[in-house]
Amino acid sequence: MLLEVTTKAAQQIRYQAKQNRMEGMPLRIAAKRNSDGTLHYGMGFDDTGRDDDTTFQTAGIDVVISPMSLDLLSNTVLDYVQLDDGKYEFIYLNPNDPNYKPPEDEK
């Protein structure tokens, strides 16, 4: 698996695309390694694809990833969750990130 977008994340991505009049545009997701080894993520709607981009669809979302981000995003799950403070946020569940902690099963 390269990268998976959850159903909740896909719903929010579609909502934001509609709000910003960017429906139909692919979502570019990027990652880069910081000097301390952690990963920094970015995403946004992008209709300027390049020949060497990897493009695919997950959860009905067209995703674009540059070659520089491919290995860093391998096996990543993009989710949209409610945090402890009640706010909602996109999160990257990425086993390639040294700060990654697998989600705990709810009991």
Distances (CA, A) of 71 to 32, 39, 48, 93: 10, 12, 21, 14
Contact 69, 31 (CB under 8 A): yes
pLDDT tens digits for range 46-98:
988 888 999 999 999 999 999 999 999 999 999 999 988 999 999 999 999 98
pLDDT tens digits for range 7-60:
999 999 999 999 999 999 999 999 999 999 899 999 999 988 888 999 999 999
105 pLDDT above the threshold of 80: no
Predicted pLDDT of residue 106: 55
Confidence of residue 100 (pLDDT cuts 50, 70, 90): confident
Superfamily name and number for 3-93: HesB-like domain (2.60.300.12)
User: Cα separation of 7 and 70, whole Å?
Assistant: 22
* pTM (2 d.p.): 0.89
Report the alpha-carbon angle 105-28-52, nearest 5: 120
Domain ranges of the chain: 3-93
